[in-house]
Amino acid sequence: MDRITRVRKKMQQASLDAVLFYKPENLFYLSGFTGTTGYVLITPSDKYFLTDFRYFSQVKEQAPEFELVPLDYAHPVRSRIEELTRGILGFEEEHMIVEMYDELKETYEGELQPMRRFIEELRMMKDEQELITMQKAQDIADETYMEILEIVSAGMTEEDLAQEIYLRMRRKGASRNSFETIVASGVRGALPHGVASGKVMQRGELVTIDFGCVYEGYCSDMTRTFALGRADDHQREIYNIVLEAQLAAMEVIKPGVSTQVVDKTARDIIAGYGYAENFGHGLGHAVGLEIHENPRFSPLCDVPLKVGMVMTNEPGIYIDDFGGVRIEDTVVVTEDGYRNLTHSPKELIEV
């Protein structure tokens, strides 16, 4: 079933006469449009792409099967909607700003119906083509990691390393970073989201790098922790606990298993070694057109895994004045378990 057909089926189930989308990732998902500004309006019989002068030729090229509806000062989106549809109009409640809602409410003759995660629910299960693209995005990150291990050295700053990562991913075809690269060395490793700073990396430190790229719209995400020089016993001990937790969580991933159970599997292992307080974030998240999607591997999220979901598995231990370790892979849920998109080695590497 194509995406528009699935949207219409959901519309019917929700008794909607039309649905309006504007979140850029959802426009891309429905139409292939890669620009940032526009609206997709779907009715049982028609599909429209509403946008302004800047994007006319882009819509004709990327979304030729949509009817282009021009927006301009005389024809703002609210008046176009009025012309194109009537009845119950669904809109993306998480993404519509209050100003636009107020305007629509004032002018729209029919009823406005908020919808939650309408497209995001469809996006949770990736199809074959999406998985091919996501594998490529991950391959770019993996290749970059292997190169980084060759060039990293004590004396470089975290920012130097982040720039090397960025340039290498771009040269391999990525359009941008999927989020701001984290390079957290030494004591900064205790910051789960320690974006690269001007700190000089030194021998004897653990370095955690968490990065990914966007390739043809899709994000990759991976984390590795390595040692500059020889790791000491404490560093090695922490590393091995995180690795044990990550591998154990991996083994429970399969269709039907609750996301909560996967989180708990890793969390129990870390807690068993006495580090419960040092793992203060969820085990992972779905990833796709956005870097953080639903569902989550978290104590707060109870969703049964389904074939085609793409999830990260990223336990960590963070200790003030010591540093931290995190290991993150991205996997796709398959009929009989999971397939790991991340291929970089996971044993503790000393460079």
Q: CB under 5 A: which stretch of 57-65, 218-226, 256-264, 270-278 binds Mn ion?
A: 218-226
Torsion (CA) 249, 250, 251, 254 in degrees, nearest 10? 110
CB of 221 to Mn ion, least distance (A): 4
**Residue with Cβ nearer Mn ion (164 or 221):** 221
Q: Which of 185, 246, 312, 342 binds Mn ion (CB under 5 A)?
A: 312
Phi/psi of residue 209, nearest 5 degrees:
-120, 130
How many residues make contact with Mn ion (CB under 5 A)?
2
CB of 23 to Mn ion, least distance (A): 21
The rounded distance, in Å, linking the Cα atoms of 152 and 164 is 9
**Residue with Cβ nearer Mn ion (205 or 221):** 221
Phi/psi of residue 342, nearest 5 degrees:
-90, 130
Q: CB under 5 A: which stretch of 69-77, 182-190, 255-263, 311-319 binds Mn ion?
A: 311-319
Q: Rule CB under 5 A: is residue 221 a binding residue for Mn ion?
A: yes
The rounded distance, in Å, linking the Cα atoms of 336 and 218 is 25
CB of 342 to Mn ion, least distance (A): 11
Q: CB under 5 A: which stretch of 180-188, 244-252, 256-264, 310-318 binds Mn ion?
A: 310-318
**Residue with Cβ nearer Mn ion (51 or 313):** 313
The rounded distance, in Å, linking the Cα atoms of 175 and 218 is 10
Q: CB under 5 A: which stretch of 31-39, 59-67, 81-89, 304-312 binds Mn ion?
A: 304-312
Window 230-259: residues binding Mn ion (CB under 5 A): none
CB of 314 to Mn ion, least distance (A): 5
Q: CB under 5 A: which stretch of 117-125, 146-154, 216-224, 253-261 binds Mn ion?
A: 216-224
Q: CB under 5 A: which stretch of 12-20, 88-96, 101-109, 309-317 binds Mn ion?
A: 309-317
CB of 125 to Mn ion, least distance (A): 19
**Residue with Cβ nearer Mn ion (312 or 342):** 312
CB of 41 to Mn ion, least distance (A): 34
**Residue with Cβ nearer Mn ion (144 or 312):** 312
Pair 51, 34: CB distance under 8 Å: no
CB-CB neighbours of 340 under 10 Å: 14
CB of 285 to Mn ion, least distance (A): 6
CB of 286 to Mn ion, least distance (A): 10
**Residue with Cβ nearer Mn ion (227 or 287):** 287
- Rounded to the nearest 10 degrees, the angle between the axes of helix 128-151 and helix 158-171 is 130
- Interface residues with Mn ion (CB under 5 A)? 221, 312
